[in-house]
Amino acid sequence: MQEENNKEIKENNEVMFSVVIPTYNEASKEDDMRKHLASIKDYFEKLGQSYEVLIVLDGPTDGKTPQLVKEIAKTNSAIRVINRKKNKGKGYTVREGFMKAKGQIRLFTDMDGATPINMLDRFIPEFQKGADIVIGSRDLHESRIDVHQPKWKEWLGDFGNLLIQFIGGLWGMKDTQCGFKAFTKQAVEDIIPRTTVDRWGIDFELLIIGKKLGYKIKEVPVEWIDRGDSLVGLSGYFSTFGDLFRTRWNVIRGVYRLDEAVDDRE
């Protein structure tokens, strides 16, 4: 059945996979950027599936990132660049990219390739079995961390995950913050218009809304490497915790309008 669906998509010239990459100041990791984008091209060409890459510039200020992105985009016609001049945050950027994407499956990932694109091999079978949302996890038994974050970040991450599970109602999800998540087109169109978080808390807000709406979520192990130069500092962790409490309050107040359809044009 999946092969028939893929054939139909190809015949209709539809895009099977969209890869959305929120991008801020990445010039310091130019080599990682080039390798990651090259690996995406190689992966989908070998997979034999139609795809697109949406690089969404979130108002970078380093003076070089936009130039690098435009240069690399010339080497791959599947790349689309959304060049926004004003910084609005990861959440806003993911939302913007997802709503402009065309794929039947829409993935967002980090520009440094901390999770390699071939981890999508573990996602595809889950979608074929009926999952609506598949998320990468660094904390499952089968996961592999090649280079760890500093200890203080791992401790804060573990503490934050417990809070997210408890306050967000996401019990059993070991790692909600891994930046490698994929959604069906239907899930995107139903969930994304309801989101409100503009920064780092978008990861769990998507999952909280998705779970409340009854979408099937599957967590799978991935390989991951800390590339260093993370844009998330200590203040970012506190900001994310604030997003968590606001998200919970939004659920209580009915902000997400979970009992009605939401037009993605609103």
Q: Which CATH class name applies to 2-253?
A: alpha beta
Output the DSSP codes for 218-254: EEEE-EEE--S--S--HHHHHHHHHHHHHHHHHHHHT
pLDDT digit string, tens, across residues 57-107: 999 999 899 999 999 999 999 999 999 999 999 999 999 999 999 999 999
Closest CA to 108 of 46, 195, 45: 195
Q: How big is the chain, counted in residues?
A: 266
Output 72 or 2, whichever has higher pLDDT.
72
Predicted confidence band of residue 8 (pLDDT cuts 50, 70, 90) = very low
- Residue 241 C-beta-side C-alpha neighbours within 13 Å: 13
Which residues share a beta bridge with 57? 23, 83
Q: Are strands 133-137 and 181-184 parallel, antiparallel or unpaired?
A: antiparallel
3 CB burial (10 A radius; 0-12, 13-18, 19+): exposed
Min mean pLDDT across 9-23, 83-97, 161-175, 229-243 is at 229-243
Task: Give the residue-averaged pLDDT of 12-22.
Answer: 90
Output 263 or 147, whichever has higher pLDDT.
263
pLDDT digit string, tens, across residues 100-144: 999 999 999 999 999 999 999 999 999 999 999 999 999 898 998
- 234 pLDDT above the threshold of 70: no
Beta carbons of 266 and 222 less than 8 angstroms apart: no
At 113, the amino acid letter reads G
pLDDT digit string, tens, across residues 145-192: 876 666 656 767 678 888 999 999 999 999 999 999 999 999 999 999
Residue found under tokens 């997979």: 47
**pLDDT reported for residue 236:** 65
**CA geometry: angle at 262 spanning 178 and 166, to 5°?**
40
- 233 pLDDT above the threshold of 80: no
Other CB atoms closer than 10 Å to residue 230's CB: what's the count? 14
- The torsion region of residue 242 among left (phi > 0), alpha (psi -120 to 50) and beta comes to alpha
Beta carbons of 65 and 100 less than 8 angstroms apart: no
Q: How far apart are CA 64 and CA 61, in angstroms?
A: 8
Domain residue spans of the chain? 2-253
**CA geometry: angle at 49 spanning 7 and 204, to 5°?**
110
